[in-house]
A and B are shown apart, each in its own frame.
Chain A
Amino acid sequence: MAGTRSPHVKLPPFQLLLDRHSGELFRFLSASVGPVDAEDAFQDTFLSALRAYPKLRDASNLRAWLFQIAHRKALDVHRARGRNPIPVEQVPEVAVSVGGDAEPALWRAVRRLPDKQRTAVFLRFAADLDYAQIGQALSCSEPAARQNVRAGLATIRKGWADG
C-alpha cells in the first residue's frame, strides 16, 4: 500500500476529512438530487474519493476536491433521470425537506437549471462554499463561478415572477 501513494503530498487521515465534510456533502447532494437518491450518491462519492485519495497530487483544497466528485455523482443521477424522466407532477410534495428552512419548491426550481448553474447555486447556498471553491469544484474560474450563480438565480427569479 505504500507503493501507491504520492511523494511529498501530506494527506490527512481520510476519516478526519469525512468527519469535517460529510455533513455538507450530504446537504449538497440532498439539495441537488433530492433526498431519495442522495444516500446512494453520497456512497458513490465516498467510494470514488477513497479510491483516488492516496494518488492525489495536491492536498491544498481537499474540500473543493470532494465537492468536485460529489458534483460529478450528482450529474450522473441527473443524466440517468434524463434517460428515464420522472414527470415533476409525480414527485410528492412532502418528499423534499432539505437545506434547512429552504422552500422545497424553490429547490425544485434550482434542480431544473442547466448543470453548471444548478451545481453552482447548490454549492453556494446548500454547501456554503465561496466562489473560489466553487470554481475549483467546477473546474472554472472564480468569476465564472460567480457568473453561474448569478445566472442561475436570475433564471429562478424570472420563473418565480412568471409563475
Chain B
Amino acid sequence: MDRAQAEGLVDVAYTETDSPVGRLLVAVTDRGLVRVSFQRERREDVLEELAERLSPRVLEAPRRLDEVRRELDQYFQGERTEFELPLDWSLTSTPFRRKVLERTAQVPYGATISYRDAAEAAGNERAVRAAGTALGANPIPIVVPCHRVLRTGGALGGYGGGLDAKRFLLDLESGRSTVTGR
C-alpha cells in the first residue's frame, strides 16, 4: 500500500469513521475531499460511484484521511466551527449545482438560510426545487453544510443523512446538543 501511494497509484483514497450521526465514509483525491457519505448509503454503491465517475483505482487508505477525520472529530466535539479542508468538486456536475453548494459552504456555523436564498445565490431565485435537488445531491455533506439550509419558515426540509441527523447537526451548532443527545 505504501508503494502504491508513493507511485501515485491510488487515485481515490477512502476510509470509514464513526461519528454521532453514524458511520461515515470519507474519500479524498489529490485535489481534496471529494465525498462524505452516511451509513444509509451502501458502502459498495458509494465506492462504485467513485470508481465510475473518478477512477477505478479506489483503495482503502486510512492514513490519507487523517486530517479529514481529525477535523470531523473536532467538529463533532464542538471544538471546530470551520473546516479547513481542500475540496474536490468533481462529483458536482452542473454549474448551477456548484453555485448552490458554494453558497451553502459560506453559511456560517450556527446560521441557516432558506432553499430560496440558495437558489438566488445561484442566479435563479425561482429555481427553489432545483436548489433542493442540488443540496440533496451534495457529495460532501457536513463539510459543505447543506444541513444549514431550511424551508422558508424554518421547517427542516430534507436531508441525505436523514432528518434525525440534520436535527442533530443543527442542535450541535446551536449548542443545544451533546454527543449522547441524539
Q: Which residues does A use to contact B, with CB under 8 Å?
A: 1-2, 5, 10-16, 18, 43, 46-47, 50-51, 53-54
* Complex contact A43–B55 (CB within 8 A): no
Main secondary structure of the interface of A (DSSP, over half): helix
Partner of B55, one of A2, A15, A16, A18: A2
* Complex contact B9–A51 (CB within 8 A): yes
* Complex contact A54–B57 (CB within 8 A): yes
In the assembled complex, 18 residue pairs joining A and B whose CB atoms fall closer than 8 Å, in A order, are: A1-B29, A1-B55, A1-B57, A13-B12, A13-B47, A13-B51, A13-B56, A14-B51, A14-B58, A14-B59, A15-B58, A16-B47, A46-B4, A50-B4, A50-B57, A51-B7, A53-B56, A54-B11
* Complex contact B4–A15 (CB within 8 A): no
Cα distance A15–B16 when bound, in Å?
Answer: 13
Cα distance A139–B38 when bound, in Å?
Answer: 43
Residues of A within 8 A of B11 (CB): 1, 54
Chain B: which residue is nearest A9 at the CB level?
B56
Q: A1-B11, A53-B57 are in contact. Are A15 and B47 (CB under 8 A)?
A: yes
Chain A: which residue is nearest B3 at the CB level?
A47
